[in-house]
Structures are given as C-alpha cells and as structure tokens.
C-alpha cells in the first residue's frame, strides 16, 4: 500500500488507516480486525482516550503487543473524566495533558506515541500552554509528533501559525467539501497533512447508502443525497465501488496523507483496504464529482 509522509514529520503512513473507534468492546473480534489490517499493510491506527472510556486504547495496546515497530500509533487528549461526574469536561491545560499522556501510554502498553492529537479546541483555550505541553512531551520522548483533531477553521488557523503541528484531522468527503475552501490550502502552504475521517459519510457513499439517506446529511436533503448517489453510480465499475470512489476522492488532494474509515466487521475492513489498490481518480473524474456535488462552506468557526 502507498505510504505518505505525514506533514513535516518523519512518519510514513499508509494511505488507508484504521479508525479504531468503531471496533467495539468485544476484545477478541476487535484485536482480530486490527491484526488483519496490519497483515494487509495498514500501519496507521487512530484511537483516543475518550473512546469507550479508555477501553479502546486498551484493546489497541493488546493488539500491537510485539508489533509496536510496525505501527504508527495515534491517539488523542483533551476530554477529561472527573470522578463522580457523568460525561467529560474539556481540559486542554498543560497539567492535564502531561498527566493524561501517561495514562494513555499505560493503556496502550507502549513508552511512546507517534502522533498525539488535541481532541478538539476553542479560541478560549490557553493555546500557548497547550502547545508548551506538547513540545515538552516531544522533548521527553513520550510523543514523536503532535497534531489537532478539529473542524473549527479559526482554531486550525491558530495552531497552523503558532505551533509545530504536523497534521489536522478533519471530516472530509464528497458530501462535506468544506475543508477544500480554506483548510486544505493552508495546510499545503505550511507542510501539514490532513488525516481524513468520515470519507464515506456515515455509509451514505457506499453500496448500502440508499438506506441511510432519509434523515439527510449536513445541508443535504434526502433527495439531494439520492441524486448524488445516482451520479456516483455512473463512475462505479466492476473493480471500483462507490465507497472506493469516495475514499479515492479525498485522497486525491496531495495534502491528505491518510484516511481512516472505520470498520466494525471483516468485510468492511477488507473493502476499505481494497481502496488502496484502486486506480486513483483522473482529473476529469474529480471535476465531474465536483460538478454534481456541493462545495459546502463553513458558516461558523471561521
């Protein structure tokens, strides 16, 4: 599988990664899926301390035991659980990040994290303090690089200009083209990569997506989604499914290093990975897709 450099880092990531959030908590089956992904040349695994109250990190840690050097391991921080309270509270403070990374390292059974990501962010955060925490963890060797996971353009803009992030994780798909307007050009100009989540838009851009259009998606009504699916169907052929086209579309931007479609079954996993063997979309095909889809815009967080 093709590998790409993640921003200005020395990390070479498979263009198809594995978003581990959807693996579930059944340990045996989740570990089997991770092992299958690794056997098929996927090397980028993305998790977070938030997923399943840390259980996801535990499962990932068990799955990569003895194979740590084969994996580019990414996790996230910022959503803090407080004993006796339900849910989480947002905490991007230096003190919390430094304590949280140690807990993630324990759950992941490793002594370093390849990519540590801020799991959100607002303009009201103490950004200098947050950045200082990440830089300190780099110097100590607990993390190799850091990035942010956010769709807030104003927050992304601040980290691009003020920090040494190597990546931005963002939702991006044929149905959510918002990053094309401002975020992707900014990343390209600063040697920062995008990690794409949601490339098949909750399954709408897949063979079974007809069943998932009823409630719409972002600013798309059900009728619009059906029309886009119909247009995409004309680009499908025997060796290339609608989901493959959706995944190849986001990978067509040179600033996208890796996309992390989730998988909760072996069939889903293998189908996602197969997108790595599909011929990239031509410029003509990309133009056709952009013609019948919407160039959405961020109305907030600019």
Measure the CA–CA gap between 42 and 262, rounded to whole angstroms. Answer: 13
CATH number at residue 17: 3.20.20.100
pLDDT at position 264 is 87
Residue 146: active-site member: no
* 116-127 residue pLDDT tens: 999 999 999 999
pLDDT at 300 over 80: no
Name the residue range of residue 113's domain: 3-201+246-279
* 195-238 residue pLDDT tens: 999 999 999 999 888 889 988 999 899 999 999 999 999 999 88
* 251-298 residue pLDDT tens: 999 999 999 998 889 999 999 999 999 989 999 999 999 999 988 887
Measure the CA–CA gap between 24 and 58, rounded to whole angstroms. Answer: 12
* 36-54 residue pLDDT tens: 999 999 999 999 998 888 8
Number of domains in the chain: 1
pLDDT at 143 over 80: yes
State the catalytic residue, choosing from 51, 116, 146, 217. 51
**Is 271 inside any structural domain?**
yes
**Is 216 inside any structural domain?**
no
Tally of CA atoms within 13 A in the half-sphere of 272 that contains its CB:
28
pLDDT at position 301 is 61
**Is 55 inside any structural domain?**
yes
**Is 14 inside any structural domain?**
yes
User: Phi and psi for 19 in degrees, rounded to 5?
Assistant: -80, 115
**Is 119 inside any structural domain?**
yes
**Is 207 inside any structural domain?**
no
**Is 93 inside any structural domain?**
yes
**Is 182 inside any structural domain?**
yes
Tell me which residue has tokens 């798309």: 220
Measure the CA–CA gap between 52 and 49, rounded to whole angstroms. Answer: 8
Mean pLDDT, the chain, integer: 93
* 61-72 residue pLDDT tens: 999 999 999 999
């Amino acid at each position: 599988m093709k590998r790409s450099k993640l921003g200005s880092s020395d990390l070479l990531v498979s263009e198809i990664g594995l978003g581990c959030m959807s693996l579930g908590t059944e340990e045996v089956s989740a570990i089997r899926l991770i092992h299958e992904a690794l056997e098929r040349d996927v090397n980028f695994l993305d998790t977070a301390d938030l997923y399943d109250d840390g259980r996801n990190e535990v499962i990932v840690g068990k799955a990569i035991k003895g194979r740590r050097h084969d994996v580019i391991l990414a996790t996230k921080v910022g959503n803090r659980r407080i004993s006796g309270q339900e849910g989480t509270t947002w905490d991007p403070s230096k003190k919390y990040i430094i304590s949280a990374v140690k807990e993630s390292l324990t759950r992941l059974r490793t002594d370093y994290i390849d990519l540590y990501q801020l799991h959100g962010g607002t303009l009201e955060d103490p950004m200098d303090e947050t950045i200082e925490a990440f830089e300190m963890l780099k110097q100590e060797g607990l993390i190799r690089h850091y990035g942010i996971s956010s769709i807030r353009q104003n927050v992304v803009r601040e980290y691009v200009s003020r920090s040494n992030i190597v990546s931005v994780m963002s939702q991006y798909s044929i149905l959510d083209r918002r990053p094309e307007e401002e975020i992707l050009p900014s990343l390209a100009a600063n040697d920062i990569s995008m990690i794409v989540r949601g490339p098949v838009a909750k399954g709408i851009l897949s063979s079974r997506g007809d069943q998932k259009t009823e409630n719409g998606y972002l600013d798309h009504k059900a009728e619009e989604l059906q029309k886009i699916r119909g247009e995409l169907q004309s680009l499908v052929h025997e060796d290339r499914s609608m989901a493959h086209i959706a995944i190849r579309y986001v990978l067509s931007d040179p600033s996208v290093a890796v996309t992390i479609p989730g998988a909760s079954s072996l069939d889903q996993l293998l189908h996602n990975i197969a997108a790595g063997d599909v011929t990239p979309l031509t410029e003509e095909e990309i133009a056709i897709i952009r013609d019948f889809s919407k160039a959405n815009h961020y109305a907030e967080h600019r």
